[in-house]
Structure 1
């Protein structure tokens, strides 16, 4: 009975997320709305109960490192990946979480004070989760893995969205998208990514977020209009690269680029890895 209740808690949280945001044919929402929904999942009494059972006395430290959420991501396995950090501290105090459809939980948090990533899992995990690995690689500390056996997960499954119909960028379009990413994150980070359609759509959303934040910036002409999706961005990348670089170099508006870079990085890396 406890296992079934555990699965139902996960099913409730993920059903709200998937039906609202991830299933094909549903109404499109902004990434900001997705972030708000992820915060509501974390704040729900059932999810708090499961995380408190998983993390025990470490829950308060974990929760304190999620006061600002990055753009959440639905993994191809059906799980919901949430990452964040302590407001005003960036990645020095950070945490990440995967809520699986069958009720399993993987969580981790990092504090720069001791330079250790602490992993928690409520099942007998035989390997770390790739989505958490990409988060930890950005931190670069020694890693201590802690496995919490917790409750036994149920067997409820949520169908994965169909991604087979996505048109993929060709080589020239990938190069164009890479230029956008380099303007936001720099070549040392952006050159290592795979520029598929999912990454391109995230770059389009990131560009729109920068444009909205810097709407009063006028030292570099802003291209007229921004059509959602990677195709428009790939075909019109040059003026947008110039605009993003201009914003990045401005003393007042450069935070528009740095904040978006933080918020979108994990989602882009997960999409690049095809997770």
Structure 2
């Protein structure tokens, strides 16, 4: 990372870690991650209407949301940045190679280096409310069907912002383009389950369709519903014990051809077998994003 003025050094390092990592940390000036003050915990667990507004900027689009949706939680230093839009904009300018944030406040893809920063969030699937706990330290995202307040959790990253953002470039859409050219139009819901990679091929060439009755194997999903296309992998089995994982999950990308939004989702694997399958977490994430999007 380039050397920045010292007053920004630890705060931007914290912000950059948040934007790039699935499990970011935020450091205080002494280098200690600080999550545990009483005021911090109370703020993150307040009702949505009482939570401070946090901001996210990506590909030229600003989003404003209750801070509790940001998950894993940030440390207090980075939290101070994302709840202050003007300060956040100044911090974004310090790393155009990660954000594409130009000096004039616009998005310039040519400034981006190898890794572009993305935003990460989480919500309860049924209520679309914040999770209320830090998934950095408590990774359980599978709800208890016998406990109505213990809902399934969806984690998501915004890969491409859509809307007023420019169209996603080929390096971002490459996986979808490759599947489309190799496998053709995606099947509808529940009809695009694929076996795991064969040793002799790269995806999608190494995949074969699976019957609906399959269970206790890892598999992929390549499906389309309306404007949404999903390319997912579902990890069910533990290779070491040859038993089902304690928490089977599915993860992968969903693209909306109408809005241009692309998401990376992680959710409990059993949702795939529900009537609306991956559409439920995908449309939940999309509806939250649209409610957070700021008109510019």
- TM-score by length of structure 1 reads 0.31
Larger RCO: Structure 1 or Structure 2 (Cα < 8 Å, ≥ 6 residues apart)? 1
Structure with the higher fraction of residues in helix conformation: 1
Structure number having the greater strand percentage:
2
